[in-house]
Amino acid sequence: MSEEMKTILDIKNLDISFRTNAGTVHAIRGVNLNLCKGETVAIVGESGSGKSVTMKAAMGLLDANATINSGEILYTYTNTSGEEVTVDLLKMSKKEMRQHINGKRIAMVFQDPMTSLDPTMTIGRQIMESMFLHKKMSREAAKARALELLQLVGIPDAEKRFKNYPHQLSGGMRQRVVIAIALSADPNVLICDEPTTALDVTIQAKILELIMDIQKKMGLSVIYITHDLGVVAKVADYVDVMYAGKIVEVGNVNEIFFEPKHPYTWGLLSAMPDLDTDEERLYSIPGSPPNLLHEPKGDAFTARNRFALAIDEKAEPPMFQVSRTHFAATWLLHPDAPKVEMPPELKTMLERARKEAEKYL
Amino acid sequence: MLKYVLKRVGMALLTLLIITFLLFVLVRIMPGNPFPSERMSDEQIANKRAEMGLDDPILVQFGRYMAGVLQGDFGKGTSLYYGAPIKTVLSTAISNSFRIGGIAILVGTLAGLALGITAALNRGRFMDGFCTVFSILGVCVPSYVFLIFLQYNFAFRIPFFPYFFDPNRFLFSTVMPSLSLSLFTMSTIARFTRNEMVEVFDSDYVRLAESKGLYGRKLVLRHVLRNALIPIVTVLAPLVVDLLTGALVVEKIYGINGIGKLMVDAIAGEGIDYNYVLALGILYSTLYIGVMLLVDLLYGVLDPRIRVSAKAEEG
């Protein structure tokens, strides 16, 4: 992780709202996010915090009732003549997105493998489709490549599976097929939207390892959308914690797990089950996320924050820099703020986790 | 697959036999008389019954009837068109009803699909609203009301089409009844297609297809239409049968000698004509069962999930 790291996807000040029957929902309120070549970034947050919407915007898959109020998503790639080009994905039409970006350069793995494959088409054809679209491959070449991909994602008996329909495969196998589809046109960015949430635990680790393995082999940059901190710890280089349409804390994985600064991140980490917890009950963050139909006043987390300061109700905190890579949006980091430490229970838990981790290093 | 088809066909034939037997018994239980009884003395009726074997045990009668049917002989009318073989009368009626119904199905289905697809592709815009209004109207307005409207405007005020059915101007005479019959099919198919397509458009697999880089026509043809069509086939089947078997009122109003009209005459004439009611009942059932069978098989072609489970059933 040094200067040679090139930014491949740069989301700047993204602001999106949705028109609904109840009114305008301001779902994304100024998101900044940065993905470098070969890196893995995880976006963490509760349901409805805007993780998926942010990434859908980068795929040109936003629903018709979404309005992009401001911001840009800069994507940098090397074009066919070897030049480096940077484009704003938000300025591209749907057609341009489909022709030049989707599948070809940025691909996506969806949450539910049970519903994300077309039930009436063999998996072989579904894998080959992108190759025909983006690479103008011949049938034979595409088939050979598809079989290769099936083997790469760990599907035994690829030749036979090639002719299968989705319903003939188990959930784990289907997710492997979805991954194979995403990889079929050699993208350089892979967006995984909760790729293991719908799978059972024994398969989860296998799928994650598979994605990491492929990432290394193909030099992919990967964005994970997840609410599972276990997944984050396993795969991520950098973590973006998202709350109510904003990134509230960002840092590398060690900073987020061992020196979190934002009370929301504290809450998330405390809610993670731990084998040594003495408490009878698992901690959960009180309350629920704000309804973004109404613009939150001050810091959106105030109502659920037991460390809230008076200023939290009045003004939204800016991003305070903690280290070169670590930022958090909480007034607690202001030089004038009272010194508040993370809860002692969390501190001992993280200490324990760190020792545990060191054993394996 | 062959075994699956044979099994379905076998089941269909068995169903048909059971239905025929039930019809046979029911017709005989029905109150009323198979002859124009007011004009006949008791003695004549008794003779007639004996001649037709109506006093024999029911199973014997049924056996005799089936033996005839299997050779394509449905007997003769007992009161209607007295003496003419049913086969001859029926085949004219069938050909009239099928032609008019067939055109109605074709027009209704194609126009309905086109309308539904247009609406789904323009969701929330003018065409979508138009399709909704049109299909509600089409389902609500009975076909004969629409026929009368057409007759008034395009046969009476502007005498372009014949006012009544005219076998010598077959093509011209078909337009108005077919059009009015197709209205219901068109509306039903349009609304259904629209809803199915909108649902498929929102599905995860279409999202995945889009994320692959598919858009426009390719997306619709490869991933949306086929998935949306599967349930439409189910709706279409009963509509087909309804239209083929003749629309009672439309046939009556437009003076078409079709199956629907024949059925009414057989029941509402002087005496209930046993043989006509039976023959028509068998025809209706055969069509219904046949179309359902066809739908089952078509499902297998359209939906791989069914094809494969059929294979598993064999194995």
Nearest CA in chain B to A62: B207
Query: Which of A112, A114, A116 has the most B C-beta neighbours within 10 Å, making it the best mutation to test the interface with B?
Result: A116
Please report the pLDDT score of residue B236 as a whole number: 87
The nearest alpha carbon in chain B to A129 belongs to B212
Cβ <8 Å between A120 and B304: yes
* Of the partner residues B203, B212, B230, the one whose CB lies closest to the CB of residue A130: B212
Please enumerate residues of B whose Cβ is less than 8 A from a Cβ of A. 123-124, 203-205, 207-216, 222-223, 226-227, 230, 302-305, 308
Contacts of B308 in chain A (CB under 8 A): 165, 167-168
Residues of chain A in contact with residue B214, where contact means CB-CB under 8 angstroms, are 98, 129, 133
Q: Measured between alpha carbons, how far apart are the two ends of chain B, in Å?
A: 10
What are the chain A neighbours of B203 within 8 Å (beta carbons)? Answer: 115
Q: Which residues of A are less than 8 Å from B224 in CB distance?
A: none
Q: What is the pLDDT of residue B43?
A: 85
Contact between B227 and A99 using a beta-carbon 8 Å cutoff:
no
Among A104, A110, A168, select the one facing B208 at the smallest CB separation: A110
Which of A64, A102, A165 is closest, CB to CB, to B210?
A102
Q: Which of A193-207, A235-249, A330-344 has the highest mean pLDDT?
A: A235-249
**Span of A102-116, A168-182, A228-242, B165-179 with lowest mean pLDDT:** B165-179
Please say if the pLDDT value at position A207 is more than 70. Answer: yes
Query: Where are chain A's structural domains?
Result: 1-38+48-94+235-361
pLDDT value of residue B111: 95
Q: B124 or A128, which is more confident?
A: A128
Query: pTM of the entire structure?
Result: 0.81
How much is the average pLDDT of A163-178?
Answer: 91
B304/A119 touch (CB, cutoff 8 Å), yes or no: yes
Q: Identify from A115, A120, A184, A193 which residue to disrupt to test chain B contact, counting B C-beta atoms within 10 A and taking the largest count.
A: A120
pLDDT at residue A3, as a whole number: 45
Q: Which run of H or of E encompasses A167? A: none
**B189, burial (CB in 10 Å: exposed 0-12, middle 13-18, buried 19+):** buried
**Residue A280, pLDDT score:** 66
**CB–CB contact B305 A119 (8 Å):** yes
Q: Note whether B305 contacts A129, CB cutoff 8 Å.
A: no
Closest Cα of chain B to A4: distance in Å?
30
User: In chain B, whose CA is at the least distance from the CA of A107?
Assistant: B211
Confidence at residue A1, expressed as pLDDT on a 0 to 100 scale: 42
- Of the pLDDT bands very low, low, confident and very high (cuts 50, 70, 90), residue A277 is low
Alpha-carbon distances of B129 from B106, B116, B118, B135, rounded to whole Å:
24, 11, 11, 10
In angstroms, the separation between the Cα of residue A233 and the nearest Cα of chain B is 27
Contacting residues of A for B216, CB less than 8 Å apart: 95
Query: What percent of chain A is modeled with pLDDT above 70?
Result: 97
Q: What per-residue confidence (pLDDT) applies to B309? A: 60
Which chain B residues are Cβ-neighbours of A116 within 8 angstroms? 204-205, 207-208
Neighbours of A246 (CB within 10 A): 22
What is the arithmetic mean of pLDDT over A271-279? Answer: 71
- Residue A293 banded pLDDT, cuts 50, 70, 90: confident
Q: Which residues of B touch A98 (CB under 8 A)?
A: 210, 213-215
Asked if pLDDT for residue A2 goes beyond 50, the answer is no
Task: Report how far residue A79's alpha carbon sits from residue B194's, in angstroms, rounded to the nearest whole number.
Answer: 41
Q: Closest Cα of chain A to B151: distance in Å? A: 45
Q: Say yes or no for a CB contact (<8 Å) between B208 and A181.
A: yes
Provide the pLDDT for residue B37.
Answer: 67
Q: Mean per-residue pLDDT for A28-41?
A: 92
More confident residue, A189 or A200: A189
CA distance to partner chain B, nearest, from residue A120 (Å):
6
pLDDT given for residue B314 in this prediction: 46
For residues A275 and B70, the model is more confident at: B70
In the predicted structure, residue A80 carries a pLDDT above the cut 90? no
For residue B303, give the chain A residue with the closest CA. A120
Report whether pLDDT(A279) > 70: no
Residue A4: is its pLDDT beyond 60? no
Which residues of chain B neighbour A107 with C-beta distances below 8 Å? 211-212
Amino acid at position B204, single letter: D
Query: Can you tell me the distance from the alpha carbon of A67 to that of A16, in angstroms, rounded to the nearest whole number?
Result: 6
**Residue A104 Cα, gap to closest chain B Cα (Å):** 7
Within 10 angstroms of residue B307's Cβ, the number of other Cβ atoms is 16
Count of CB atoms within 10 A of residue B88's CB?
A: 10
**Residue A48 carries which DSSP code?**
T
Nearest C-alpha of chain A: how many angstroms from B274? Answer: 48
> Which DSSP symbol is given to A53?
H
Cβ distance of B204 and A115 shorter than 8 Å: yes
Whether the complex's predicted ipTM surpasses the cut of 0.90: no
**Are the beta carbons of A182 and A113 closer than 8 angstroms?**
no
Contact B5, B311 (CB under 8 A): no
The domain ranges of chain B are: 1-80+271-315, 87-268
Q: What confidence category does residue A243 fall into, taking pLDDT thresholds of 50, 70 and 90? A: very high
Per-residue pLDDT of chain B in tens (315 residues, 90 and over written 9): 778 788 889 999 999 999 999 999 998 888 777 776 677 788 888 887 888 788 888 888 899 889 888 888 888 777 766 667 888 888 888 888 888 888 999 999 999 999 999 999 998 889 999 999 999 999 999 888 999 999 999 988 988 888 888 878 888 888 999 999 999 999 999 999 999 999 999 999 999 999 999 988 889 999 999 899 888 888 888 888 878 766 778 888 888 888 888 888 888 777 788 888 889 889 889 988 998 888 888 887 888 877 666 555 543
Task: Give which of A98, A110, A122, A135 to mutate to test B binding, by max B Cβ within 10 Å.
Answer: A98
Residue A109, pLDDT score: 92
Task: Select from B142, B310, B315 the least CA-distant residue to B242.
Answer: B142
The CATH fold of domain A1-38+48-94+235-361: Rossmann fold (3.40.50)
The whole-number average pLDDT for the span A352-359 is 80
Chain A hits for B227, CB-CB cut-off 8 Å, are 118-120
Q: State the nearest Cα–Cα gap between A234 and chain B, in angstroms.
A: 26
Is the pLDDT reported for residue A328 higher than 80? yes
CB pairs under 8 A between A and B: 86
Q: Which fold has domain B87-268?
A: MetI-like fold (1.10.3720)
Contact B205 A61 (CB under 8 A): no
> pLDDT by residue (tens digit) across A47-61?
888 899 999 999 999
CA neighbor of A327 nearest in space, from A233, A225, A228, A240: A240
Q: Do A94 and B124 touch (CB under 8 A)?
A: no
CA distance A286 to chain B (A): 33
- Measured in angstroms, the CA of A96 and the nearest CA of chain B are apart by 9
Mean pLDDT throughout A211-239? 90
Q: What is residue B251's predicted lDDT score, i.e. its pLDDT?
A: 86
Please determine, for residue A195, whether its predicted confidence score (pLDDT) is greater than 70: yes
